[in-house]
Chain A
Amino acid sequence: MLMGLYNYWIVVVLMMVGFYIVIAHGNLIKKIVGLSIFQTSVFIFYISMAKVDGGTAPILADGITQYSNPLPHVLILTAIVVGIATTALGLALAVRIKETYGSIEEEEIQKKDNLDC
């Protein structure tokens, strides 16, 4: 069991580290970094499940019978693109927030918002 699930457990730890950074840190850039780690870890999880012992990359070639599952690869290709799209947008927002609020720390922004109200 240890060897069979070891990969997944590490992946869970990675995911949770990313998740923790997102919810616990106040710096907007750091949050996006956390989101990146969170998502990348999910990618690792998908790719792990596609692996077959003794398999090779799913590019057809003579003399190879065992291929890893190509479907998760396809899904994750898409997901990576989604990830970079989100990151780009998030960073753009952070830049604008810095310009208008003068800070990228959650607490300070909240404080300024409360003053506005």
Chain B
Amino acid sequence: MTLSLESMLQLSIILPILTTLAIVATGNKPNLREAVTIISSLILLYLSVNLYQGIKQGESISVTWWPLLPNLQISFNIEPLGMLFALIASFLWLITTVYSIGYMRHHEEQNQTQFYACFAIAIGSVMGIAFAENLFTLFIFYETLTLSTYPLVTHAGTEKAKKGGRVYLGVLLGTSIVFFLLAIISTWFVAGTLDFKPGGIFDSDVNTTVAGVILVLFIFGIGKAAIMPFHRWLPAAMVAPTPVSALLHAVAVVKAGVFTILKVCLFIFGIDLLSILPTTQFLLYLAGASVLLASLVAMRQDNLKARLAYSTISQLGYITIGALLATSAGVIGSSMHIATHAFGKITLFFCAGAILVTAHKSKISEMRGLGLQMPITMAAFFIASLSIIGVPPAGGIWSKWFLLMGTLETEQWILMVVLMISSLLNIAYLLPIPFHAFFSKNNIPFANTGTKIKEAPLASLIALSITTVGCVVLFVYPQPLYELAKAILATPE
């Protein structure tokens, strides 16, 4: 079967939507339904890898659909950053699917068909975001992503889920309608185009105040990047089933946010313009504050998922900082951090979910000694924590290294200190968890079960092992990732 790269690109967006239909059609037969999901996620991964090969050979792949509004096409084009995002997303979708089959069945959740269907739409939207050729297309998929994940977040259907969903939708839809859309229309008005172009689309003599305001609108508008003060939706979304949280935090939603920020910084404003805008510095400090504050809040959380959520907010700040630094090191660091954080965070969430379904624990204080019961899970947790902190032998160190380089290059000393402190805080709030799980034997709430090993469902276990291995691989063999990240800036002008 020889498909042109263009049709592969289109297929990778359409496939998940077709999958949705298939899932709904096969809703009554769980086995068939999940087989459909797995097969299509395999195909999607295959498509992404092929596209990646194409990109590596320097081919340019772009497709234009139809103009939604005059001169505003829905069109797609693959560049390295998008490719990177698409690869991560399609790979992790496969893993998450495997994981959720174990999780959902074990947990006996209701409405699983709705769950898988929305899941597939969400991935389709992510693909659309990753490959979008212009801001307009990106925005459309950005919104479909928000809406398709809403039923996932409120899956439980309880009063608490309703409240969480309210915040989730309120913040994401609110910021995107009020700020993001305004920023897009303003850009359209000022620059006359919305196409992503290396080096930006604004004229060199553009009024920097106006551009600066637009930048602020963008950063505030992209609520998915969870920059404080628009971060509330992330902890609120923790009411979702764990695979959803994993998806939100590692794969789809937050990554779509920071990805969009990177895209906007690089291809709408361009590094050169970005560095002279009057508001950049302010936004950098805001992101820095976000990093630090979120870490501090994370320390105070006893609920594991909530702690991980705040940790995510803090890590997203890193990526935003990298994008706003407007240096090559910063950009490389940011893009690599998308990948390394994705693997690290998804592992952590998988572990949290595994603990919940197996030991029915969600509070950190109750997890002492759990390592004896669930050694593989807790070991994976440990390695993933290292990746988030940025210590060998996990991939996180590389991205953090480049980010630090970026701050050094631009002599942003305060931010450098912020990053360092935050890493220390990471240690303080992540490492005690596996540590206590393995070594706090005195205060074991599991005394009656003894040390009998009772691990998570097999599917979940496989999934979390793979992502853990991924963390390590990213440390040992970061070359392809680095190449891809470097290629982002090397795109011919």
The answer to whether A and B touch directly, with their CB atoms under 8 angstroms apart, is no
Task: Please give the residue numbers on chain A whose beta carbons come within 8 Å of chain B beta carbons, in ascending order.
Answer: none
